[in-house]
Each structure stands twice: as C-alpha cells, then as structure tokens.
Structure 1
Amino acid sequence: MKPERKLSIFWMFRYLLPVKWRIAVLLGMLLTSTALQLINPQIVQRFIDTASAKGAVGGLFSLAGMFLVVAVSNQLLTVSVSYMGNDVAWRATNRLRADLLKHCLRLDMRFHNLKTPGEMIERVDGDVTGMSNFFALFIVQIIGSFVLLAGILGYMFATNWPIAITMSIFTCISIGVMVYIRDFGVSATQAERQARASLLGLIEERISGIEDVQANGGVPYVMNRFHRAMRSVFLTGRKAWMLRVVPWNVTVVLFAVAVTVVLIIGVSMYLKGEITLGTLYLVYQYTQMLNDPIEQLGNQVQEFQKAKSGMRRSREILSYESEIHEGTEESLPSGALGVDFDQVNFSYNEDNRVLQDISFSLLPGERLGIVGRTGSGKSSLSRLLLRMYNTDSGVIRIGGTDIRSLRLEALYKRVGMVTQDVQLFDGTLRDNLTLFNSKVADQEIIETTERLGLRKWIDKMPQGLDTHLTAGGASLSAGEAQLFALTRVFLTKPSLVILDEPSSKLDAATEAALQAAVDQLMEHCTGIVIAHRLSTLKKVDKIMVLGNGRILEFGAREALAQDSSSRFAKLLRTDRQEELA
C-alpha cells in the first residue's frame, strides 16, 4: 500500500474513532437492512411458485403480508441508517473543522498575509464538506454494498452456480476497474476546489474594500475579475466532473453485458425445466439488485475523489508550521515592565529589511513616543513586541525576559495593544468589552467605562451591557471605537501598553478625551505610543524617531524638544506651522 493511501485511511479512522459506538449501532442496522433486502425477493419467489402451482389462497395472503411487513421495516431501517450515517459524518468532520480552525488561528502572520479569509473559509468548511459527504455514505453504501453483494452471490452459489459465476465475474471486473481508476479525478477535483477558494477570496476581498471600489470606479474591473474567476471554476469543475463519472459509465456498460448473459442463461434453464418461474424471477431480481451496490460503489468512487482532494488540501494546511514557537516561561515580574531591544533586525521578505539594528531600553513605568514617516517601521516594531512575527536576529526583552522564552499566553496577559481599527464581534456588548471573558464582573466594566468616558454611550444602549452587537463595528463612531478598544485593554490590567496610531481618525475634542483616557490607562504601566500627531506625545518621557528602519534619534522628550537641531524639534516646528495654517 502506498504511503499516501495509508495516510488517507489513517485520517478517516482517526476522526471516526471517537464515534465508534455509533458506528457499531449503524453497522447492526445496516446488516439487518441488508438481510431484509435479500429476504423480500425470496418471498416473492415463493409467492410466484405457490400461485403457479395453484396453492392455497391463505398461503398467498400470508406471503403478501410478510412481504409488506419486511418492505415497511426495511424502509424504516433505511431512513434510520441514513440519519445515523449523516450523524456520524458530521460528528467526525466537525472535529476536523475544529482542528483546522485551531491550527489556522495558531499560525503566524506570514501565513495569514498570503491567505485571504475567503480562501480559508473554503479550506476549513468547503473541503471538509466534501469529506463529510463521503463519510456520511462510506459505511452505509460501501460496507452495505459489499455485504449485499456477498449475500446475493452466496445465495446464488447455493442455488445456481452457473449464474452465480457469471455474476461473480461481472462483480470482480466492475470493482477491479473502479479500484484501478479511483484516482482519475482527484487532481482535477483539487484544482476545482482551489478555483472555488480563489473565487471566494476575490469576493471577500472586494466586499471588504467596497468603499474604495465604489469611490474609485472599480466596479467594472472587479466584475471582470469575477467573471474570469467564475470561468476558471466552470472549466475546472467540468473537467473534474467528466473524470469523476468515468467509473459510473464503465459500470453501466458492464452491467448491461451481465444482465444480458444472466437472462439468457436463466431463460434457457427455465425452458428446459431446470428452474421454476419464481426462481427465474429471483435470478432477474437479484441481478437487478446486484447493480445497485455496484452503482453505489461507483458513486462513492466519485465522492472518494472529492474527499481525497479535500484530505490533501486539509493535510496541506495542517502541515504548515508556525515560525512562532512558544517558550516555557509562565510569568513575568509584577508591576510595570521594562522593554529592551538589542540589535534587532527584521524583514517581511528577504529583499526588504524593515528594521535594522534597533537597540534601545525603556525603564518600567516610562512612556515612549515613536514617530517617523509611513513605512519607517513603527508598526512593525509593535508587532515584534507581541510576537506576531519573529525577529531575523537580535533579542527583545520584556521585564528582563527574552520574549522567545515566554509562553504566548503569559505574554498576552501582560501586554495590551490598541490599534486604530477596532473589531466588533457578533455578541453582547459585555462580550465585546471583555472579549468573552466571563470572569470580569459587570461592576468592573461599568467603573472602567465611567473613567474612560464610554459610560454615556453604554447607557444609550437599549439593553445596556446585554445589548447585542453585530460584527464589523459600524455602530461605533471613530472616537467611540478608540475608547472601546482602550476599555478592552484597561480591563486586562496590562503592564505594558502599545498604542498604534490611536488618534489618527479623531477630531481635536475627541482626541483630548482620548488622551485623558490614555493617561489613566498608563498610570501603572509602561507605555509605547506610535503617532503621527505630535500632540499625542505631550506626556511621554522619551522619543524615538525612525527612518528607513533605523533609529535616527532617541532620547528624553524635553531634551530633544529644546535642542533646536534635533529631528524631533524640527517636527514640532513643522507641526505648529501646520496648526497655524
């Protein structure tokens, strides 16, 4: 057996193992249903032979009643088997969905920068749905088909071996052909899934940027891209379908040949008086029944191709490893935390270094303001502090501890970050403020929002903290969103706070309110403020000026402000002139 096939089988049973008892019940129901399918044609055989021999009417009524009971029982079992099969499939594949989502959430930002949300939705849900369809019918149709085949052939060998041999040859050839061409459409189906993922990624990307698309007249371009992506989905889907139906077409041809041969043999034996009319019916009926499991096996070969392509793509996702490896340290010193950068270098790709030889120290409780032109590396520095990326070289220490030796949970408990973009989640106002941490008391939330100036907004909500918010954040103004983000961080009681352009979208009055909230937030922690507006940096202790990924200037704010030759002093003069203008 090839390694890849072994891995596929291992994957199937790995996720089916937790539902093994349900599978056992399902198999029991399946065997019973198969037995009933084999019994009913034999009842009809006896009915025909009894009627041909002009048997008792009471006996015929008894056989008719037995047929009805068996048929109804079999139908009820068929429904139950279908329900149980889908239940097993969803339970098994939902575990896989959870594994995929958990793994994706743990991957580093380099991975997520290359994958759109739409593509990841297709990977986590679309691919697994194809596997779910296969899992749902694998036990029911694959195992059931083999059991039914064995029952039909076994009975026929006991009754009429020439016909049984003909059926066996047809069965073996059909199964052999399907096994041989089972992978015909796997690669094409994989390409089809990738085309669908690209289409979903395109739609998600363009809808998320709808304002820019509409404002800049980009709708025709987007539609052109959409039609090209749809054409790719159509072409790859058509090719995949054509390759997947090959097994089914082969079985149809083989079945036509088998039925012809069996009927010729059966009619010939009946005319010679070697079998009864009922037995001829039984031969015909079993031949027809033989086609059902063969056809189901053919259909499942198609589903297997879809499932296998999903398995490949799912294993591909799970094979990615995050470059962010957790350390073992569980805690940091209490109180405000110092920050040290020691010859740190960083790049998003090898051709473009973003930060070069960054070295500075920040004492516990100090506030650092970082300024610089767009692309100077300000936001990259904050992302390194939160280990969204690894440094190329150098060491970053928080509280004297190398952040690479820390568990990520220990780092995030003590370091908070506020950005200019605030994400709301589908949930209550309370859930959004605490990020679904049920341990935070309502009284603490109310007191915090009162201090930060968000209480009036909460009081306007129809159900207070129980008000349901929708994802996205459209119900918040820019100022409210920033206060909202500050409240989130405030409730975690961080020892180091990073503010990345917190006031870039605010007017002067709202910025003043925000600054008061920031001052409260940083009373007992170390702070790093990244800003374009120098007014945001009035109360920082130190200033860092970045340019082209290097530290151009670093020192005490007051000293740099009073040094007319410093870069920061020049920025202050430019800022005042712009305000006067």
Structure 2
Amino acid sequence: MSRTARRRGGTRANERPDYAKNVQRGGGPGTGRVHEKAVNFGPSLHRLVGELSPHRWKVLLVIVMGFIGVAFNVYSPRLLGRATNVVYEGFIGRMLPAGMTKEQAIAALEAAGRTDQAQMISGLDVVPGQGIDVTRLGRILLVCMALYVLAATLQFLQGYILNRVVQRSVYSMRDQVSDKLDRLPLSYFDAQPRGELLSRITNDIDNIQQTLQQTLSQILNAVLQLVGVLVMMLTVSPRLTLIALCAIPVSLVVSVLIGRASQRRFVGMWTATGVLNGQIEEAFTGHSLVKVFGRRREVEAVFARTNEHLYRQSFGAQAISAVLMPVNFFVGNLTYVAVAVVGGLRVASGQMALGDVTSFIQYSRMFTQPITQVASMANLLQSGVASAERVFEVLDAAEQAPDAEGSLELPVAGHVEFDHVRFSYSPDKPLIDDLSLDARPGQQIAIVGPTGAGKTTMVNLLERFYDVDGGSIRIDGVDVNAVPRAQLRDQLGMVLQDTWLFGGSIRDNIAYGKPGATDDEVVAAAKEAYVDRFVHTLPAGYDTVINDEGTNVSAGEKQLLTIARAFISDPSILILDEATSSVDTRTEALIQKAMGRLREGRTSFVIAHRLSTIRDADIILVMEHGDIVEQGSHDELIAARGAYWRLYQAQFAGDRGAA
C-alpha cells in the first residue's frame, strides 16, 4: 500500500440535493450523477451468466445431473398411469363374467345394446373375471418410487454443486470489484457519492448472489422439465398436446410485457437504494454537525423524500412482478379444464386409456409449472440483472493510465520541478494554466493563498492522484509519469488536515506508514510526534483500539497519530496540508520542532493558512486562480507589499480582532 493518504471530501448531509440532481463530491470539481438508464437485459444477463465460466465443468455436471433427474421425474407419471390402468382394468375385469374372452365380452355388450361400454372395454387390456394384478401393480410402484428417490438425490447434489459454483463466482466478482477500485483514478471517487458506491459493492453484489442461487437451478430444471414433459405428452396424445401448447404464447406475451414494465422499476429501486445509503452515510458521519446547526428537520425531510421515492419504486416493481404468477396460474387452469374434458370424452369413446388421461393431466400440470415457476422468479431475476448492471458499471469504469516501467534513482535527493504545468478538473473550467516551480533538495516550500487557489491540486498532481493536462512534473530530473505510482508515492509522505484512522490499534495505525515496522520503530515515531505522551494515559497504551470513526481520541490526538505515521515512513519528500490545524498552541510548537527535524535533508511542501507557521520557509508561493502570483522569502514578500502582504495584514488584523 502507498504510504500516503488520499483526501476525502463530500457534501454535508443537510445540503444533499433532491433525488435526480447532480452531486459534487471530493477535492476537485468533478460531478457524479446517480442516474437511471435503459436496461439492456439480454446482454447483461449473458454477461452475468458468463461469470460462471471458470466453473464450466461443474456447471456441465449440474446440467447432466439435472437432465437425468428431470428425466426420472418426467417418466414417473407415465408409470403411475400404467398403475392406474392396472387398477382400472382389474376393476372392470372383475365386473365381467368369468370364462369369457375379451372379444366375447365385447360382443355380448354390443348384443345387449351397450355399445358405449363395449367401445370403452375395447381399449383396455382386461381379462373377464380377473381382478387387480397386485404383483404387476407392486412392481410398477416400486420402480416409480426408486425413480423419485434417485431424482431427489440428484436434485440435492445438483443444488449442492451449484451453490458452490455461485458462491465462488460471487467471491470472484467481489475480488474483481476490489481490484478494479485499486485501478480507478481518484477522480472517479471524487465523482461518486460514497454511499452509492458502497451500495453497489455490498447490496447489489449480495442481491446478485441471491438471484443466482435461487434462480439458476430452478430455471435449468424448468427448461429441462418443459422439454421432457413435451416429449412425453406427444407420446401419450398429440391431440391433447396441441391443447396444452396453446398456453405457451399467452404466458410468454404476458411475461414479456410485465417483465419490461417491472425491469424499469427495479433499476429505479436499486438506484434509489444507493442514493438513500449515501444520505444515511453522510447524515451519520456528520451527525454532530447536523445537531449543532439545528438541521435535523431538513435532513429528515430529504431522507423522507428519498425514502418515499424508494418505496414507490420498490412497491411498483414488486406489484407489477406479482401479477405474473396469478395470470399464469389462470392460463394453466384453463388448459387443465380443456385437457380434462377432451380426455374424458376420448376415454368414454375407447380412444384412450384412463391411465393415459390421468398421466397426461399430470403432464399438463407439470408443463405449466415451469412456465409459472419462471414467471414467479421473474421479479428476482429482473432485480438481480439490474444490480448486475450497476456492478458492471463499476467494472467498466475508465481506469487510470497504466504504470510506466521507469524508475527513480535511489536514494531520492528531492529536486522537484513543475515545468509549465496545465491542469483542470473539467475541460470547461481551467484551473492551472501555466505553473512553473523549481524546489531544490532540502528546501521548505510553503504554499499559501485563498481557498480554491489550487494549493491542494498542486499536491495532488505531485502525488499523481491526477495527471497533468500539459507540461511536466519531475523529481530528480525524472518525469513522474515515467515512474510507477507505487514507487513514486513510496518517496512521498503526506499529512492532511482531514485525518484518517482505521478501526485498529494505535500501534497498527502508526505502523500503517511502513509495512513490517517493528515495535521499536513505532515507539520512536510516536515519541518524535509527541504521541507517546498521551498514549501512556490510555488504558491499553499502544494496543488501544480506535473505533471506526475515531471518536475515542481527540481531534488533536488523531492529528498527532497521522504525523507519527509520516515519521515512520521516512519519506524523501514531505507534504503537509495544514498538518497542525487541529492541535493546541503548545502542541503546535512541539510539532513544529519535530517537523523541523523531520524536514532536515528533505524537500517539504507546506500548505498553510496560518502564515505564522511558515515564516521560516525557504520559498513562499502565493497562489491565486491556479497560478503563482508571488514567490520569495517572508521578508521579501512583506517588503514587496503585494498579495502576500495583503494576506498577512488581513490575518494579523483578524487575530488582533479575535484577541
């Protein structure tokens, strides 16, 4: 990891715009817009399924097992139809006089004018006077039970293997997103609300996992069952099969129409979820400020509007999707009635056996079941694909330029040159037009100027958080664009005004600046930054765990910890962005002494608002609108009575008035 820390910005919770408005984030003027776009369902679904390709052999095994299991399930009603025939034929045979052949019994019924019964018996395999063949019936039922057991076993194994495939695929997707975030430029994070980005990485990926886990096996089995049942229906009765097939176009048309309508709602639902998460994250992060300025009602009002929007999108998506299942059930019931009526007439006429009709009725139910099943999963599938698109947007985001293969000559002396540098966050708003600077090794360069003058931007360019639009930045004569970012940032140490600590011990937070740092090095850095003084007052000393928000240490103590982190990294070039703004006057004096020792032999850039802290700087740069308007020592700039002198007088007057 880099030894530097990135500046993080954001809008205040009470200034969050309404739902579809642009949101400005971060240190630069990049804009990030939470937007809805037309969903390309087919390609997105294809790409999502493509995430399973590394496990193609397991997926193939699942398909084979599904095919065999469905074949067993599909063939079982045929056996049950035969069992029904055995029972029915035994019942009819017992009613006929013994000692006759089947043909004689039919002739006797026709002679008695019972033609309908004669036609019905002609289609049966009966022996007059003989009852149910229990041996044959038992054999059929045992085979049928064995098929059901085997099908259930294969279904369990299929689900087990598929579950592992899905979990591994989602694991891989999380890895892809994590790696992608490491390759994205800082401008991307500046342009994205943090809650929205977190929602894509957490909620959307979890939703993808749930979708794959619940739909893949069911859709696979549904398709196989649909094909298998169709084949069996054709073997039983082509005429009844045509009646059953009439349900397909109706179900497909309804599913497509309702699916398109619900898809737009699901995109809106997950987009609104990201916006809501962003608002919640900001509101909790800035909770104390919201309370202090009495903006609770405004925050609640903005939250209520977004929550209402999310409710409407979610309700609309679920309500529209919920129509699919009852509609398909209705179509299936109509098919069931038609099959039962036509089949009963054919049994009465002797054209079909009763067992064939009962098995076909089961097949008709099994035929509409996968259609209904897919329809009932449509809302989950639509939701999952909508989430997948949001994750794919992150994976497809433009990455930072690849690292060059050059290198800095070590040890770095610290000669920094800005040569006619041009830069802007957006093409229509130029910020730095022609910036040139020559910082010699060991010099302290102070940068002052009004807010928005480009001071922090200058540092961001040196760190290569952003790349210049024109000109070049060189360290020891080597263009920073020709050096891998990791090697460049290894030579830079940064202490920001906005402190950043992670949830871990004080020891770990200091050692973050130097991977593999020893305890002695941590303690030495802590002493140099005057952290050691207050650490011993804590219950667990250096093992005291800082919570995620860092609220169990004061703002000044957090600042000291970040300074200790810079000490332990032992950088060649030091960057201080108002590094002592959160400490008291006495601690500031101590830190200034420590910084003086740290700066010895190193080039340092100090961004300062309190001009008293940079009086001894070798060069003071005064920036306005992205350009250096003055440079020189403190005495030289005061004597010039220019921009620096005006800043100094304004601050002195402000301090005197405050006193």
Q: TM-score when scaled to structure 1?
A: 0.88
- Native 8 Å contact 1:251 1:294 kept in 2: yes
What is the aligned counterpart of 1:12 among 38, 48, 72?
Answer: 48
Indicate the larger mover: 14-23 or 413-422: 14-23
| SS in structure 1 of the partner of residue 210 of structure 2 | helix
Residue deviations 1:33-83 (CA, integer Å, cap 9, x gap): 323422443443344334442435566566555555554554454444444
**Structure 2 residue 288 is the aligned partner of structure 1 residue 252:** no
Confirm or deny: 8 A CA contact 1:503 1:536 kept in the other structure: no
Post-superposition shift, 1:503?
0.9
- Cα 1:28/1:117, change in 2 over 3 Å: same
Give how far 1:115 is off.
1.6
Unaligned runs of 5+ in 2: 1-38, 91-130
Shift of 1:489: 2.3
Larger RCO (CA within 8 A; separation ≥ 6): 2
| 1:468 positional shift | 4.0
2:549 maps to 1:513? no
Q: Deviations over 1:64-107 (max 9, x none)?
A: 55555554554454444444434322322332333234334433
CA 1:68/1:450 → structure 2, altered by over 3 Å: closer, same or farther?
Answer: farther
User: Residue 532 of structure 1: SS of its match in structure 2?
Assistant: coil
Q: Retained in 1: the 8 A contact 2:183–2:400?
A: no
1:415 aligns with 2:451: no
Residue 22, structure 1, aligned to residue 58, structure 2: yes
Deviations 1:495-515 (A, max 9, x none): 111000011121111112222
Deviation (angstroms), 1:437: 6.4
Determine which of 310, 322, 340 is the counterpart of 1:233.
310
Q: Which amino acid aligns with 1:95?
A: S
* Cα displacement (A) at 1:256: 2.4
Q: Secondary structure of 2:570's partner? A: coil
Note if 1:275 corresponds to 2:311: no
Q: Distance in 2 between matches of 1:210 and 1:6?
A: 43
Does the 8 Å contact 2:502/2:548 carry over to 1? Answer: yes
After superposing the two structures, state which structure 1 stretch, 306-315 or 433-442, moved more: 433-442
- Asked if 2 retains the 8 angstrom alpha-carbon contact of 1:323 and 1:390, the reply is no
Q: After superposition, where does 1:22-41 map in structure 2 within 5 Å?
A: 22-41=58-77
Out of 558, 581, 595, the residue aligned to residue 504 of structure 1 is 581
State the 1:569 CA deviation.
6.0
On the 8 A contact 2:236/2:360 being kept in 1, the answer is no
After superposition, where does 1:275-314 map in structure 2 within 5 Å? Answer: 275-314=352-391
Deviations 1:471-509 (A, max 9, x none): 222222223212211222233321111000011121111
> Which segment is superposed worse, 476-485 or 146-155?
476-485
CA shift at 1:19, angstroms?
2.0
Closer, same or farther in 2 for the Cα pair 1:137/1:172, shift >3 Å?
farther
With 154-163 and 168-177 compared, the bigger mean Cα shift is at 168-177
Identity %: 27
Aligned pairs for 1:112-131 (under 5 A) are 112-131=189-208
User: What is the 5 A alignment of 1:373-384?
Assistant: 373-384=450-461
Q: Which residue of 2 aligns with 1:158?
A: 235
Question: Take 1:436 and 1:511, find their aligned partners in 2: how far apart are those partners?
Answer: 22
Q: Which amino acid aligns with 2:440?
A: L
| 1:532 equivalenced with 2:568 (yes/no) | no
How far off is 1:528 after superposition? Answer: 0.8
For residues 392 and 623 of structure 2, the distance between their equivalents in structure 1, rounded to whole angstroms, comes to 42
TM-score, structure 2 as length reference: 0.79
Per the TM alignment, residue 380 of structure 1 is displaced from its structure 2 partner at its CA by 2.1
How far apart, CA to CA, are the structure 1 residues paired with 2:195 and 2:470? Answer: 34
Partner Cα separation in structure 2 for residue 309 and residue 525 of structure 1: 52
Aligned pairs (5 A) from 1:379-390: 379-390=456-467
Counterpart of 2:120 in structure 1 is: none
How many equivalent residue pairs? Answer: 578
- After the TM superposition, which residues 138-537 of structure 1 pair with which residues of structure 2 at under 5 Å, given as runs? 138-171=215-248, 174-175=251-252, 178=255, 182-245=259-322, 247-322=324-399, 326-350=403-427, 352-435=429-512, 438-459=515-536, 467-537=544-614
Alignment partners' CA distance in 2, 1:164 and 1:103: 52
Distance (Å, rounded) in 2 between the aligned partners of 1:258 and 1:437: 72
The answer for the alignment partner of 1:93 in structure 2 is: 170
Distance, in Å, in 2 between the alignment partners of 1:79 and 1:400 is 66
Distance 1:392 1:91 in 2: 42
- CA distance in structure 1 between the aligned counterparts of 2:594 and 2:289, rounded to whole angstroms: 32
Q: Which amino acid aligns with 1:194?
A: T
Which residue identity does 2:309 align to in structure 1? Answer: S
Shift of 1:147: 1.0
Matched letter for residue 340 of structure 1? E
Partners of 1:544 and 1:116 in 2: CA distance: 33
Q: Secondary structure at the match of 1:348?
A: coil
The runs of 5 or more residues in structure 1 that have no matched partner are none
What secondary structure sits across from 2:425 in the alignment? strand
Secondary structure at 1:185's aligned position in 2? helix
The answer (yes or no) to whether the contact 2:514–2:569 under 8 Å persists in 1 is no
Cα drift, residue 260 of structure 1: 1.7
Aligned with 1:370: secondary structure?
strand
TM-superposed CA distance for 1:442, in Å, is 3.1
| Higher mean displacement: 395-404 or 145-154 | 395-404
Q: Does 1:49 align with 2:85?
A: yes
The secondary structure found in structure 2 opposite 1:374 is coil
